[in-house]
Structure formats: structure tokens, C-alpha cells
Amino acid sequence: MAGIDEAAVLEALKGVRDAERGGDLVSLGMVSGLAVRDGHVAFAIEVEPARGPRLEPLRKAAEKAVFDLPGVISVTAVLTAERQGAAPAKPRAPASDHGHEHGPPGHGQAHGHAHGPSRVSRPGPGSAQRGAHLRPEHPLMPGVKHVVAVASGKGGVGKSTTAVNIALALKGLGLRVGMFDADLFGPSMPRMLGVPGKQPGSADGEKIDPIEAYGMKAMSIGFMVSEEEPVVWRGPMVMGALEQMMRDVNWGELDIMIVDMPPGTGDTQLTMTQRVPLSGAVIVSTPQDIALLDARKGLAMFRKVNVPVLGIVENMSFYVCPNCGQEAHIFGHGGARLEATRLACEFLGEIPLDIAIRTNSDAGTPIVASQAGGPLARVYKEIAARIWQKLQEADATRG
């Protein structure tokens, strides 16, 4: 079977007309972010914000037109909306665009390549419109009891390592746990969970079956693209992709889902806080002043959108020499504890700087799984137990 290419996709989309504007999607410049990889197709349809809610039939028609092409395995089409006055979209985006997710609101088209997050796309009407940030009447993951975001104000503080080990520690409590990698631009869960290269399937052709790892259900954009291949998306496509990976995945019944958030306070964070009923957030920081400054911003963001902050974790808190046993404070020590006190937030614990944590994460054998009875795993288990306790206390309060 001949492979599908971008020209064939654009040709198919020329057959899909926008009746209100009196032309096809391609000639009207409504297609952006087109990417084709191994039979998987992804693109955005850019529309005016006011028309977004009623254009779901147009999205479905475009998706079907492409899906009917020989060689197409899956199609992901999302509606993206721009603020009035933004420059019109073009069918093809310049490959040189940096694709950073922190562009200003209404910044326009999904430049560069966008890789589809699902085998079968079924986003709701206007799922990626700017401004459409009200929580949905129907939850994206109805079978998930608690969703907890693990976040950091800046990169490089060990947030993902902390997230995966907390998730495994929660699994050790006998809970049904899911792991959602919301870091679309730097997905690390496939490697950390020891399942790089795996691709999710679909038993019913409607929902995606998540990858099973260490008894947990996991989903990441990293299962859809190779580690070397960058995901270059503008904000609207980030929002659409996140919603699709949550809505279209067969998560089933879970007691808790841990979400590995990207660093910072950009589009991903806004989407998660405004479209998902988060039970709480955990902030990860190192003891350094600059890291604590950014952590403070992240904490303030969650509080602003009424997401409970369950506490702060100090990672790389201290280093113990394996030869002499002397403790060294390479990045300082105790800064996160003091910050938690200052901000009236619980301090959940401190995790040492230990090469075993790093090497096991890189090897896909997180420390909580590979050294379950060791002192390093015990730290994560204590943090996880406290997180779960706080969630249960909140449930009891709500009654």
C-alpha cells in the first residue's frame, strides 16, 4: 500500500467546504499544522471564535475525508480559534518557527508540525478554542476519582522523576493509579516507565487503550512520536491535544491520576486547571532561591484558579557521600520548607540528591519499583501516603 503524503491530504481537504464562507478549507487558508507520519495524520482547522461551537460537523467532515484516503491509519483534527483581528491562517506553516508554547494569546496558527495524539479523534465542539475555558458539563475522565498535578515553576528540578515515583508509591498503597504525561514538548514518561517505543492501540476503534506499566495505566504524546522528533505546536493545538488524550483514552475506573505537568505557567497549565477538576497540585522545587522563586509563581497560579495546593516537595535536598557518609548541601538546604511555611502550605518532604534515583529513572526502573524496600523509596512512599491522606480528608469534609 502506498504511503500517504501531505499533498494527498491537502487534496482531500479541498473537497471539504465551509458553507458559511463559500469555499474549501485549503483555499480559505483554514488548515494549519499539517503533519503526516507513518499513516497518522494531524492538522488544525482555524476558525473565528464566534463560529467555533457550531463547526463540529465541519471538523468531522474534514476528518472523514482524510480518513477515507488509502494508507491513512488515524486522523486527528482539532478546531482552533483566534482572537478577532489576528492574521489569517495559511495552509502550510514555516518550518523555522520555534513552536514555543508560551506565545501570546491569539497568536495564531499552529506553525510547524503537529503530531496526532490519538488513533481515532473525537474532540468535542470547539475543543481548542481560545477563551472556551469553562469546565465541561461532562468530565473528560469520568472514571477517575482524583486528579493530582505534579508541577514546578522551572525545568530541571526533577519534577518528572518525582511524579513517576509518587505514582508508583500510590500504586503500592493498593490504589488504582493512572499516569498522564502532560508535558507535550518534553515527554519523558515512556522512558521513565520502561516502555519507550510502545504505541497504544484501540480495541473498539473509538477509545485508545493506554499503555500498561508497573500495574499503572499511562498515556503520553511520547507514545505517538519518536524521542528524536520534536512536537512543534502553538497553544490552541496544545489544548486540543491534551483534551483528546484525556477524553479519548480508555482510562476506566481509577482512584487517582498523577499528571506530570510541564514547567512554568503556560497553555498546558491553564488547560489542565480549567478543563479538569483537579483535586490538588504538588509543587516540586530544589532549595535554590531561583527555583523557589519560580515555584512560588506556580503555587500562586494554582491558588488563583482555586486548585488546592497539597504541598511542596524539596528535591535534590542534600547529598550524602557514599564513602564517608558526610552530608553536603550542594544546592542549599531547607529553602522549600521555609517557603512552605511562608506561604502557609504543607511541606511534604525532602528527597536527597542520589545517583541511583537518576540512573534508575533513565533505565526505566524507577527507584520505588526497583528498590521498593530501600530508604530512597521510603521517602517517596511517605510523600505519597500524605498526599492520599489529604485527599481522603478533603473527601470527608465535603461529606
Domains of the chain: 6-129 (3.30.300.130), 144-398 (3.40.50.300)
Query: How much is the average pLDDT of 45-61?
Result: 83
Rounded CA-CA distance 192/181 in Å is 11
What pLDDT shows up at residue 104?
29
pLDDT over 70 percentage in the chain: 75
Please, are residues 249 and 157 in contact by the beta-carbon 8 Å criterion?
no
Between 109 and 30, residue with greater pLDDT: 30
Among 44, 42, 92, 113, residue whose Cα is nearest residue 72: 42
Taking only the tens place, the pLDDT of each residue in 239-271 is: 777 888 888 889 999 999 999 988 776 667 777
Grid coordinates representing 302 are 494554582
Taking only the tens place, the pLDDT of each residue in 330-344 is: 665 666 778 778 878
| pLDDT band at 136; cut points 50, 70, 90 | very low
pLDDT at 92 over 50: no
Query: How much is the average pLDDT of 111-138?
Result: 35
Grid coordinates representing 103 are 506565545
Among 55, 74, 364, residue whose Cα is nearest residue 202: 74
What pLDDT shows up at residue 329?
63
pLDDT at 100 over 60: no
What pLDDT shows up at residue 52?
73
Count of alpha carbons within 13 angstroms of residue 101, beta-carbon side: 26
Could you give the 3-state DSSP secondary structure of residue 65? helix
What pLDDT shows up at residue 316?
82
Please, are residues 311 and 340 in contact by the beta-carbon 8 Å criterion?
yes
State the chain's mean pLDDT as an integer: 77
Among 295, 298, 266, residue whose Cα is nearest residue 100: 266
| pLDDT band at 327; cut points 50, 70, 90 | low
DSSP label at 212?
E
Rounded CA-CA distance 300/20 in Å is 43
Please, are residues 210 and 199 in contact by the beta-carbon 8 Å criterion?
no
Which range among 55-69, 104-118, 377-391 has the greatest average pLDDT? 377-391
Grid coordinates representing 200 are 497504544
pLDDT at 75 over 60: yes
